[in-house]
Amino acid sequence: MDHRALDSDAISASATTPAEFAAIFDRHFDAVHAYLQRRIGRDLADELSAEAFLLAFDGRARYDLSRPDARPWLFGIATNLLHRHRRHELRELRAYARSATDPILDAFDGVDARIDASSTRRKLIDALAGVPAEELDALLLLAWADFSYTEIAEALAIPIGTVRSRLSRARARIRAALEVESTPTQRQPIGDEGGQR
Amino acid sequence: MNEVELLRQLRDGLPAARPEVRAAARADLMTRIEHSEKPLRPPAGRPWWRRPRLRLAAAGVCAAAFLIALPIGIFGGSGKVQPAVAQVLRDAARVAATQEPVAPGPGQYLFTRSKDAYLSAVGYDPDDPDCQRPPCEATETWSVLVPSVRESWISFDGSRRGRVRAVSGKPKFVSAGQRAGWVAAGSPPLPRAGQVEDSGLSSGGMLDASVLPTDPVELRHLIEARKIRGIEGPPGEAETFTLIGDMLRETYLPSDVRAAIYRLTAELPGVELLGEVHDPVGRLGTGIAFTDRKRGTRHELIFDPATAALLGERESIVRSAPYGFKAPPGTPIGYAAYLESRVVDSVGQEAPAGAGGFDHSVGCYAQASLHSNTAIVHGADPIATCAEIWREGAMDTSRGPSSPHLVACAYEGSPVALVFPGSGSAVCRHLGLVPFPAG
């Protein structure tokens, strides 16, 4: 129904009429699922995207009604769920780097999961496996969810300055990995985390 | 190209969430929403469907399941014989008397192809993994017509096993209201089209024409007394009309017996003439009907006046909610059209290759009563098949994942197993049945 044009209106109405929350699902489920699927594969995405909307519904009273678009909030919930599967995500990224097939793409019929051993894509994926989780969240919300810096800040509940520094470090890591003739086991330590040891 | 652009191309263009995944997620959310004011229940999940009460036009083996699953029509219908319908049926009898079907040889089969649809309920079972202990309530159910193309091979002399193969089509909601309820619940997945039911028929499925009198008065007496093997059922005029349909569909009868059937139908009170009507696939024929006021349904038989062959039949509701859902009078709840009938030498002849299986048709009853809710299934072991359905919680949601003691019975001579809670053959006898398998 169109009379709740803004997400914040639907969420507000759902306080007294819970069924209004269905509009949030209808508007955003596909996007949330697509993002999760790209990060951790189809099967886990099926599970986590459903869970994300249950958590969102349960937590709707805490939604900031001054924000008309619920996307950052929903992607923030999805990102928190992803952290439970961080090890899985890393494993998949490393498998990708080693085996020349992307296990996430491999789950789909008719999608070519093979990757040239020397390709940029392979270096890229290898570099992603080395990006710390909080930087990776910011980077992939930017690249795969088309989020603005402000939206990333909302989703991850961090100040916008922190978004900038995380993105800057993550991008530098990726650039370095692409420029260096690296093998999957050699990585350039960049930024705070890299220099801690 | 910068690194963000490169990243954007990585794993780009993956297929969207599968519709069933989306529907299941939405159903989970709607369940949560529905119970947000109440203690949370496990989320809805795996769809299940069952067939309550009605399976029209499932002749031969399934006819028994259809008949027994209906509420008794003892007081149904009490109209008078209408002169117009009597005349039309006497005409049909004259035609039938001149149409001698090809006599089958020993070991041959009657092959029939039909299109039918039966009333079914779609609903949800609580998600298994989250439902560790009762109560695990099934949520709402909605009524649909499930169309199918059905082929049957029935042994003429009863010496061989037969076969029934049905391929389901896309379910259709019986009314706009039922559809709206389903949409409001998040459009959970419906049974897919293309499901194949393929089961063996034990021998002896064919009505034995040699024991049937050609005198209409005598034949009517046998039918009304429920004395003909394979044409049994509860008492009542509506039931008698249904049994007449059973004798005309998927059967081989000599012309004089068919003529007698039309003649006795002409004398039955309460039979209406519908005149020239279309059968469920649009063929013109002569329609007769019987309204069962107690049950709130009307059963139409449509035959070809030129050959007196049964073309099709239809059942519709005449008052709202006889089956628990609201729908306008006239809403169909089942139909069948008989498309092709011939004598063949082997089971599977005329059929697509690759199918097989010799399961029994099984009715799983919720209580030790022929009028309790029924799930009609197929399986090699009737008791094990029904026990599985009980453990799934589909029979009695308050039980949890367990099955009561079950006992398998049947109408004498019927290949359909009827499985009830209880133990011992006394349960069967109490219901007027015999233990299954006989002997």
Blockwise average pLDDT, block size 10, chain B, 439 residues: 84 88 90 62 27 26 24 37 85 86 79 84 48 37 81 80 80 87 77 71 68 93 86 79 85 89 92 90 91 86 90 86 74 87 78 41 81 69 83 71 88 78 90 78
Kindly write down the DSSP assignment for every residue of A78-116, as one continuous string.
HHHHHHTTHHHHHHHHHHHHHHSB-HHHHTSTT---B--
The shortest C-alpha distance from B39 to chain A (Å) reads 13
Cβ contact, residue pair A46, B186, below 8 Å:
no
**What is the per-residue pLDDT for A108?**
72
How many angstroms separate the CA atoms of B432 and B67, rounded? 14
Q: Residue A191 pLDDT > 50, yes or no?
A: no
**What is the per-residue pLDDT for B296?**
83
Which of B3, B6, B9, B40 to mutate to test binding with chain A, by most A CBs within 10 Å of its CB? B3
Chain A contacts to B (CB-CB under 8 A):
18-19, 21-22, 25-26, 29-30, 33-34, 37-38, 42, 45-46, 49-50, 53-54, 57-58, 102, 104-105, 108, 111, 120-121, 124-125, 128, 139-140, 142-144, 171, 174-175, 178
- With contact defined as beta carbons under 8 Å apart, do B253 and B231 qualify? no
HSE of A2 in the Cβ direction (CA atoms, 13 Å)? 0
The shortest C-alpha distance from A69 to chain B (Å) reads 20
The shortest C-alpha distance from A57 to chain B (Å) reads 8
Cβ contact, residue pair B10, A124, below 8 Å:
yes
Going from the C-alpha of B434 to that of each of B228, B407, B412, B413, the distances in angstroms are: 16, 11, 6, 9
Place of tokens 């990006």: A131
List all residues 6 or more positions away from B318 whose beta carbon is below 8 Å from its beta carbon: B291, B293, B296, B297, B298, B329, B330
Greatest pairwise CA separation for chain B in angstroms? 93
Query: Side chain identity at B82, as an amino acid letter?
Result: Q
The shortest C-alpha distance from A76 to chain B (Å) reads 18
DSSP secondary structure code for residue B416 in this structure: -
Cβ contact, residue pair B28, A54, below 8 Å:
yes
Chain A to chain B Cβ contacts (< 8 Å): 98
B183 close to A (CB below 8 A) = no
As a residue count, chain A comes to 197
**A38 closest CB neighbour out of B11, B26, B32:** B11
Residues B348, B349, B352: CA angle, nearest 5 degrees: 65
In chain A, which residues have their Cβ closer than 8 Å to the Cβ of B17?
Answer: 29-30, 33-34, 37, 45-46, 49
In chain A, which residues have their Cβ closer than 8 Å to the Cβ of B11?
Answer: 38, 102, 104-105, 144
Closest by alpha carbon to B26, among A84, A57, A13? A57
**B14 closest CB neighbour out of A26, A108, A143:** A108
In chain A, which residues have their Cβ closer than 8 Å to the Cβ of B33?
Answer: 18-19, 21-22, 57
How many angstroms separate the CA atoms of B179 and B159, rounded? 46
Count the Cβ atoms, other than its own, within 10 Å of residue A184: 17
Q: Is B269 left (phi over 0), alpha (psi -120 to 50) or beta?
A: beta
In chain A, which residues have their Cβ closer than 8 Å to the Cβ of B4?
Answer: 139, 142-143, 171
pLDDT digit string (tens) for B382-426? 898 888 878 877 677 676 678 889 999 987 766 678 899 998 889
Indicate where chain A has its CATH 1.10.10.10 domain(s).
85-184
Closest by alpha carbon to B124, among B20, B195, B31? B31
The two tokens of residue A119 are 């390709």
* Helix runs in B148-306, H state only: 176-184, 216-224, 237-248, 255-266
pLDDT digit string (tens) for A60-118? 888 888 888 999 999 999 998 888 777 777 777 776 666 667 767 776 766 666 665 55
Q: Does residue B437 have a cis bond before it (omega within 30 degrees)?
A: yes
**B25 closest CB neighbour out of A29, A125, A139:** A29
HSE of B235 in the Cβ direction (CA atoms, 13 Å)? 5
The shortest C-alpha distance from B181 to chain A (Å) reads 14
How many angstroms separate the CA atoms of B21 and A49, rounded? 10
pLDDT digit string (tens) for B151-160? 888 888 777 7
- With contact defined as beta carbons under 8 Å apart, do B78 and B237 qualify? yes
Task: State mean pLDDT over A24-38.
Answer: 95
The two tokens of residue B57 are 């036009």
Q: Which of residues 4-23 of B touch A (CB under 8 A)?
A: 4, 6-11, 14-18, 21-22
Answering whether pTM is above 0.80, one says no
What is the enclosing helix (H) or strand (E) of A154?
helix A149-156
DSSP secondary structure code for residue B379 in this structure: E
List all residues 6 or more positions away from B252 whose beta carbon is below 8 Å from its beta carbon: B101, B104, B110, B156, B206, B207, B209, B343
Q: Is A111 left (phi over 0), alpha (psi -120 to 50) or beta?
A: beta
What's the CATH number for A85-184? 1.10.10.10
How large is the ipTM? Answer: 0.85
The shortest C-alpha distance from B2 to chain A (Å) reads 8
